[in-house]
A and B are shown apart, each in its own frame.
Chain A
Amino acid sequence: MTDLAVGAVAGTLAPRRRFVLLRRLAAHRSFQIGLVLVLLLALAAIFAPFLTSVDPSAMKVRFRFRPPSAAFPFGTDNFGRDIFTRVLYGARVSLWIGLVVAISTGVIGAAIGVVAAQFPRLDPYLMRCMDALMSFPAILLALGVTAALGPRMESVIIALAVAYVPAGARIVRASALVVRELDYIAAARIAGASNFRIMIRHILPNSVSPLLVHVTFVFAYAILAEAALSFLGVGVPPPTASWGNIIAEGRDYATEAWWVMLFPGLGITLSALGLNLLGDGLRDVLDPRLNWRG
């Protein structure tokens, strides 16, 4: 009988290549820049109370329409409120909305996508529902939901999540359909695994990489959409500051106090840019072609 001594026939194992993906991610230029941007904004939002001692709603009518200066780095609005403080607190709201929408879109989209791929009889019904949702422009959908539930931050989150789930579901479903045909799924079936186990342990983890990329973009879309909704008056209601409603309120006197719209606008732009760069990096690194060795 041949010697099955360890290593003698099969050969030694190559030195470990750990965290290959993470290392590649860390070396990716776009990812680095995007990460820095997003982290800076997130930290600014989290530490807002330490960066400014002013109350965002405090009105100092004597100081209305002051341009940016040492005392008011971003100037003041028509109520004399410090824009710098409002933008920082607004970051909390806008980024939070973006984050929650992104995560819930991801989770719900993944669930729907995997179930649709695994149960061909449910598939058409689920996908037609998704198609129906997708055919509404996101803003209109959001308007409808907010009208039904009343203007609150939670309404905005729900509305945007509903608008963005279908795309996520389609992405995961497409991946899952491919994964389903792979040999290791057949192997699990031969091992006696139930449909549920196969879905959760095998199909789901292997179908979500494209979703990860999509979710970072949804984060950015959500921030932009919140701004649009607030602009239309159906976003986060005042006096709570969000980037969107600061811009909305500043619209009326845009020519006199341009700084009121500029700085929250910059916030939106930078966060959307940062998230897009993050997403680009993720997409490049997670590209399955790059994972083949030799």
Chain B
Amino acid sequence: MSALVSIDKLTVQFRGDRGWVNAVEDVSFDIGEGECVGVVGESGSGKSVTALSMLRLHPRGAARFPSGSIFYAGVDLLRAPERDLRAVRGRDIAMVFQDPMSSLNPVLTICDQICEPIRLHQGLSQAAARRAAIELLDLVRIPDAARRVDEYPHRLSGGMRQRAMIAIAIACRPRLLIADEPTTALDVTIQAQILELLRDLRAELGMAVLLISHDLGVIAEFARRVVVMYAGRIVEDAPVDVLFNAPRHPYTEGLMASMPPLEGGADRLYAIPGRIPDPDEPIPGCRFGPRCPHLEPVCRTSAPELVAISETHRVRCTPRSRPGALC
């Protein structure tokens, strides 16, 4: 089965103070039709950069892609001309961002903003687009949609704004929805509502969702497959139950162990020692090495490769990917 979107050895560089640095290196994974993939990582992991790269949304000249490809419908999105990319953005692949305050245009009404992709990609008249917009607001469960559609973003609460953003994103029934930390800026109870909405929409519209988050709980509830990123690289890629019940990579283990348990328990939390490295910091061998409690000599000399330890499970860790290691 061919994937909907196939990312192959993606490397993204940004211009730093001292030249170009790798923000993302050697990232490869596929997203299947209707699949629900979660990408989890902390700051500097490169998860957002990867998402933005899929639609080449970086400011011009700020990022470059020295190698790798992102294939959708037979086209390499990284090398395609801008015109082709515009046909994909908002129609086949859509995106929802973290901060609804800054992602919505404050001087346009909700109706204007939802109608924009509709009119652009489907060529509807203003009246028809407006009707579609009201339907979309109903779909994302904004009460009193017919009145709300004419309001400006600042009149809506955070949760409503996020729903409006989702409405804009699904306006043209995309095949893939990329959600970059869609609930991070929201309260916990609102977060639960939005996640439930995303789940239902996914089922209704049959679209694939790429959910990016730093919150392991959100990922566990939502994703079917999880990609764990650290310092610009994928360190683990597994189905969600495998990842949470039997993680392989020491970073994944550390992340899970450092979450304070809601069910009560230990007096002290486990903390991964050290700090996340800067992108331009040179670290020989494995980039997680300096913080790893299971460091071996080989980890310092050679950078680990992403190895498949089962059909669905890949790990980037030399000691842990040896055959027979840690069964």
Contact = CB atoms under 8 A, between A and B. Distances in A.
A/B contact in complex, CB under 8 angstroms = yes
Interface of A: 2, 8-12, 14-15, 17, 20, 23-24, 294
User: Which 9 A-B residue pairs are closest in the complex by CB-CB distance?
Assistant: A11-B275, A11-B274, A14-B278, A9-B273, A294-B44, A294-B43, A8-B273, A20-B17, A14-B281
Nearest to A24: B17
B251 to A, nearest CB: 15
B17 A17 contact: yes
Contacts of B274: 11-12
Q: How large is the interface on B (under 10, 10 to 19, 20 to 34, 35 or more residues)?
A: 10 to 19
Interface in B238-297: 268, 271, 273-275, 278, 281, 291
Contacts of B278: 14, 294
A23 B281 contact: no
Given A14-B278, A14-B281, A294-B44, A9 B271 contact: yes
Contacts of A17: 17
A23 B275 CA distance: 26
A15 B44 CA distance: 17
Given A9-B271, A11-B273, A14-B281, 11 more contacts: A2-B268, A2-B271, A10-B275, A11-B274, A11-B275, A12-B274, A12-B275, A17-B17, A20-B17, A23-B17, A294-B44
Contacts of A15: 281
A11 B272 CA distance: 10
A14 B275 CA distance: 10
Chain B contact surface mostly: loop
Contacts, number: 22
Interface of B: 17, 43-44, 268, 271, 273-275, 278, 281, 291
Contacts of A8: 273
Nearest to A1: B268
A187 B31 CA distance: 47
A9 B281 CA distance: 19
- Majority secondary structure, A binding face: loop
Most buried by A among B43, B44, B278, B291: B278
Contacts of B281: 14-15
5 contacts: A2-B271, A11-B273, A11-B275, A12-B275, A20-B17
Nearest to B17: A20
A24 B44 CA distance: 23
A14 B278 CA distance: 8
Nearest to B282: A15
Nearest to A20: B17
B180 to A, nearest CB: 15
Nearest to A8: B273
A286 to B, nearest CB: 15
A2 B291 CA distance: 16
A254 B81 CA distance: 56
Contacts of A20: 17
B257 to A, nearest CB: 14
A6 to B, nearest CB: 12
Nearest to B268: A2
A11 B43 CA distance: 16
A291 B318 CA distance: 37
Nearest to A3: B273
A89 to B, nearest CB: 43
Nearest to B44: A294
Nearest to B16: A293
A210 to B, nearest CB: 21
Contacts of A11: 273-275, 291
Contacts of B268: 2
A15 B271 CA distance: 23
A12 B281 CA distance: 12
B62 to A, nearest CB: 11
Contacts of B271: 2, 9
A12 B278 CA distance: 12
Nearest to B43: A294
Nearest to A9: B273
B125 to A, nearest CB: 39
A10 B290 CA distance: 12
Contacts of A294: 43-44, 278
Contacts of B43: 294
A109 to B, nearest CB: 30
B249 to A, nearest CB: 19
A285 to B, nearest CB: 12
A8 B44 CA distance: 21
Contacts of A24: 17
A12 B17 CA distance: 21
Contacts of A10: 275
Nearest to B279: A294
A8 B43 CA distance: 21
Nearest to B273: A9
A24 B18 CA distance: 10
A294 B47 CA distance: 12
A135 B50 CA distance: 52
A151 B51 CA distance: 66
A11 B271 CA distance: 12
A27 B271 CA distance: 41
Among A11, A20, A24, the one with the most B-chain Cβ atoms within 10 Å of its Cβ is A11
A15 B277 CA distance: 11
B290 to A, nearest CB: 8
Nearest to A13: B275
A216 to B, nearest CB: 24
A9 B269 CA distance: 13
A249 B283 CA distance: 69
